[in-house]
A and B are shown apart, each in its own frame.
Chain A
Amino acid sequence: MDHLDKLEAQSVYILREAYREFKNICMLWSIGKDSTVLLWLARKAFFGHVPIPLVHIDTHYKIPEMIEYRDELALKWKLTMIYGENKQAIQEKNTFPEGKVDRITCCQSLKSEALKKTLSGEWNRYIMDLNTGKYIPDTNRERYTGVIVGVRADEEGSRSKERTFSPRDKENDWDVGDQPPEFWNQYKTDFAPGTHIRIHPLLDWTELNIWEYIDRENIPITSLYFDQGDGKRYRSLGCYPCTTPVESTSKNISEIIHELKSGKFAHIAERSGRAQDKDDGGGLETLRKGGYM
């Protein structure tokens, strides 16, 4: 087995543990390359099926191609596709840069808050009707007790300290000082009522592993990652006001892999185009403690 086989096998094991242990489980799909790899791994784990609903938090500031791509794959792979949103903040324009809020506050409101209320079932969820391709209100309002997330340890400091099965309390708070032990392949699958678990099957993957795997498996990903002729491409996807493309002429996966291995990005952090990480000393840690992924 090569190292991609090993990473794949471990992630499949984790997904199957999660699926068996949690009755109300969902998988977050940000439409980015990592969570798309995660979705692909679910098809591996469950032999072509995806028996877990996919949840997308729509900030309505996502780059439009992302939403098109999401709905296209959802129809093609017959996914249980759900989205949630912070309707009020979007309507009242309490957002960055239109409203009088900074980046971190905008993230907390459009992503963390929307996510929290969507997972708990307090706010409306919308589910795709696979016959029409349209979204309708989801009648299931049950709280998700297990949430599968595609974060990687190499992305950023606080993510490097995550557990594979990571408990969160009622407020979605992450107690980084007191995380459960993980022995061998045994994870925390027992949890007190009111708490829930985040599951991270991709922790040991690097950005390069992700691209190598996309290449090997031929996983369809959004074209935003490739240079469309203007010498620019996205390396990490988010909301357009806070995500800038990088200067790069990589037009396909193998050019991206080359760029990461030996080219200009070999020493530049992946999230360098994501502005919210930089706003205070530990921007992403602050966000993540409050429930951001």
Chain B
Amino acid sequence: MNLREQMNIVIVGHVDHGKSTVIGRLFADTNSLPDGKLESIKEYCKKNSKPFEYAFLLDTLKDEQSQGITIDTARSFLKTKKRDYIIIDAPGHIEFLKNMVTGASRAEAALLVIDAKEGIKENSKRHGHIVSMLGVNQVVVLVNKMDLVDYDERVFQNIRNEFTEFLWKINIKPVNFIPISAFCGDNVAEKSYRASWYNGPTVLEQLDGFANKKETRELPLRMPVQDIYKFTAQGDDRRIVAGTILSGSIRVGDEVVFLPSQKRSVIDSIESFHTVPKDIAYADEAIGVTLQTQIYIRPGELMVKANEKHSLISSRFKANVFWVGQAPLIKNKVYKLKMGTTKIGVKLIEIVNIIDAAELHIDTYKGQVERHDVSECIFETTKPIAFDLISEIEGTGRFVIVDNYEISGGGIIMKNVTSGDNTLIDHIQDREFLWEKSFISSAQRNGAYGHKSKFIVITSGNEGNEHVIEKIGKELEEVLFRMNYKTYYLGISSILSGLMSQDSFNYEDREEHIRQIGELARILTDSGQIMITSVFNLDDDEAEKLKLLNQPHEIIIVNIGESPFSSFKAYASISSDVAVNTVCEMLREQEIILEYYL
């Protein structure tokens, strides 16, 4: 079968500069409309005593037709000799900017329409800027309504010079400028004899001149883990790691690393349904893999190849964000960040500057990012995440921010920020500063109770050990209790392991619980007790957090069976049958409990 190329094109520009008319004309002149469509719109205009406009072909919603504006992006389908196009018509009104973003972010090239008579307007520039932020690099400027300026070449050249200068500032090199009249049909599908001084391509020729998206298979592998499937129906025992490859390629036998957990394995097979079996897959394919070893990974991790350049791992980065939220982006509020298939809490730490998208003026005095602002900001995620700089790999260098259920902003990562500071350390310093000490010292308590305080965390990376570690925690509590020690087992690990399961993806609750456990441990250890808890599949970052939160008191993290950590060293790794005795032995060695009390 002869399959054709397909390309998405977005049309942007200031309101009333004629975007929908350009598309309507393209369709009419290429004979791409269904029979009767043109006639029925003409009929509609006559009935409602409106002059016929090509824009009505696309502004199909009743509100749009009655108000004569485009509210939402419409996709329409156009064919040329070379390929098939999805033409995305973006609204020019500032209040519909989020709809314009929606249209532009899936485009490979943009047509930016400027009214020859009105000249360059605020949204001509704003759209240019946003299109470039969204990663659309091929931009052609259509200087429309040339009929209103008598096809005067000087008008065209002035716009061309002024706008080229603007585009250069935001790093766009426009592919071309075309003088057109969509209303009269000049240089859209047909060469204009009225603008005979112009020798370049028509809009239609220009479309076919756009290049398809660069293949990204030469870049290092990036595959966000979208989900982990184990469908047992009909005896299927495959455990499949599913995801779409954003860049690079993957082959059976490749060693892979999952970030940020750093867990490693080797690709055992590449899975697909109703295809010829394959042992290699490339960027843009939605695939699944099975691994040679059963490692515990979660959706949201990023699969990379061991022998290729890895992503950065950090909780701070500098990014350019474009904000479309109803409420402004403010500091000290936890938002949800979505990148690849990761979701994580994020806070705005610092506004470096706010760029007026239309005028490129820089405003450093605003304390918040308002709707339609483009801003350079520093963010901190609640845990380290894996990402790339936008200049290196696009798919893992961009993210959205969700505020109150709504996607409220999009961002691209410009720079990794390495800094020892983080807001948790600030919080603990504040907490300790404000903590009112009582008249009884820790030493007095130790003396009275006959033991020191300690926070004991039992964890495991073995699936199936969820309940084993709970049981060990409770038995340990019982043994210590019978020896007359002040001890307490905090039994909320089952909530946590529920939050960890694959059908739940609730990072917010998990983070909140870790924090609560840490804060509770700080209180109970301060009161002189031995606090015990079990947390299944604790990761490096969570272990560090518990340690920090429990300060100034001491913590022991004990691992049963397979370690869930990548670099964090558990105090001990022991097998489950001797766990209780071993921990007691450790406590004696550290002089937390004293031998003669036995």
A16 touches B60 (CB 8 A): no
User: Which A residues from 158 to 203 make CB contacts under 8 A with B?
Assistant: 158, 160-161, 163, 176-177, 179-186, 188-192, 203
Q: From residue A101, how far is it (CB to closest CB) to chain B in Å?
A: 23
B407 touches A1 (CB 8 A): no
B273 touches A44 (CB 8 A): yes
Closest to B340 in A: A185
Among A4, A153, A160, A180, the residue within 8 A (CB) of B406 is A180
A181 touches B284 (CB 8 A): no
Q: From residue A248, how far is it (CB to closest CB) to chain B in Å?
A: 15
Query: Roughly how many angstroms separate A198 CA and B59 CA in the complex, as a whole number?
Result: 23
Determine whether B481 belongs to the interface, using a CB cutoff of 8 Å to chain A: no
B99 touches A184 (CB 8 A): no
Query: Roughly how many angstroms separate A3 CA and B2 CA in the complex, as a whole number?
Result: 11
Determine whether A216 belongs to the interface, using a CB cutoff of 8 Å to chain B: yes
Query: Roughly how many angstroms separate A182 CA and B107 CA in the complex, as a whole number?
Result: 12
Determine whether A58 belongs to the interface, using a CB cutoff of 8 Å to chain B: no
Closest to B399 in A: A186
User: Which B residues from 131 to 155 make CB contacts under 8 A with A?
Assistant: 134-135
- Within 8 Å CB of B237, what residues of A? none
User: Which B residues from 567 to 585 make CB contacts under 8 A with A?
Assistant: none
Query: Roughly how many angstroms separate A46 CA and B271 CA in the complex, as a whole number?
Result: 10
A153 touches B284 (CB 8 A): no
- Within 8 Å CB of A5, what residues of B? 284-285
A269 touches B34 (CB 8 A): yes
Which of these binds chain B: A6-14, A90-98, A136-144, A237-245?
A6-14
Determine whether B421 belongs to the interface, using a CB cutoff of 8 Å to chain A: no
- Within 8 Å CB of B399, what residues of A? 186
Among B34, B229, B405, B503, the residue within 8 A (CB) of A192 is B405
Determine whether B364 belongs to the interface, using a CB cutoff of 8 Å to chain A: no
Closest to A192 in B: B405
A46 touches B229 (CB 8 A): yes
The total of interchain contacts (Cβ-Cβ below 8 angstroms) comes to 176
- Within 8 Å CB of A203, what residues of B? 75
B238 touches A158 (CB 8 A): no
Q: From residue B297, how far is it (CB to closest CB) to chain A in Å?
A: 14
Among B1, B75, B234, B402, the residue within 8 A (CB) of A153 is B75
Q: From residue B516, how far is it (CB to closest CB) to chain A in Å?
A: 23
Task: Answer whether A179 and B72 are a contact pair too, CB < 8 Å, given A6-B284, A9-B284, A17-B226.
Answer: yes
Determine whether B73 belongs to the interface, using a CB cutoff of 8 Å to chain A: yes
- Within 8 Å CB of A9, what residues of B? 244, 284-286
- Within 8 Å CB of A1, what residues of B? 282, 284-285
B274 touches A4 (CB 8 A): no
B60 touches A157 (CB 8 A): yes
For the side of the interface on B, what is the size category? 35 or more
B102 touches A163 (CB 8 A): yes
A12 touches B61 (CB 8 A): no
Among A23, A157, A282, the residue within 8 A (CB) of B74 is A157
Determine whether B398 belongs to the interface, using a CB cutoff of 8 Å to chain A: yes
Query: Roughly how many angstroms separate A146 CA and B74 CA in the complex, as a whole number?
Result: 23
B407 touches A182 (CB 8 A): yes
Q: Mark A207-225, 1 if CB is under 8 A from B, else 0.
A: 0000010011100000000
Beyond the given pairs A1-B284, A157-B60, A206-B77, 16 more chain A to chain B contacts, judged by CB atoms under 8 angstroms and listed by A's residue number, are: A3-B3, A6-B284, A20-B505, A46-B229, A47-B271, A47-B272, A49-B233, A153-B74, A161-B71, A182-B102, A182-B105, A184-B398, A190-B336, A206-B84, A267-B31, A272-B34
B interface with A by C-beta (< 8 Å): 1, 3-6, 31, 33-35, 37, 44, 58, 60-63, 71-77, 84, 86, 98-99, 101-102, 105-106, 134-135, 226-227, 229, 231, 233-234, 236, 238, 240, 242, 244, 271-274, 282, 284-286, 288, 299, 324, 336, 338, 398-400, 402, 405-407, 410, 503, 505
A-B contact pairs, 16 of them (CB 8 A): A3-B84, A9-B244, A9-B285, A20-B226, A20-B299, A45-B242, A49-B236, A153-B77, A161-B73, A176-B61, A179-B99, A182-B105, A188-B406, A190-B402, A190-B406, A285-B61
A interface with B by C-beta (< 8 Å): 1-10, 12-13, 16-17, 19-21, 23, 43-49, 51, 78, 153-154, 156-158, 160-161, 163, 176-177, 179-186, 188-192, 203-204, 206, 212, 215-217, 257, 267-269, 272, 281-282, 285
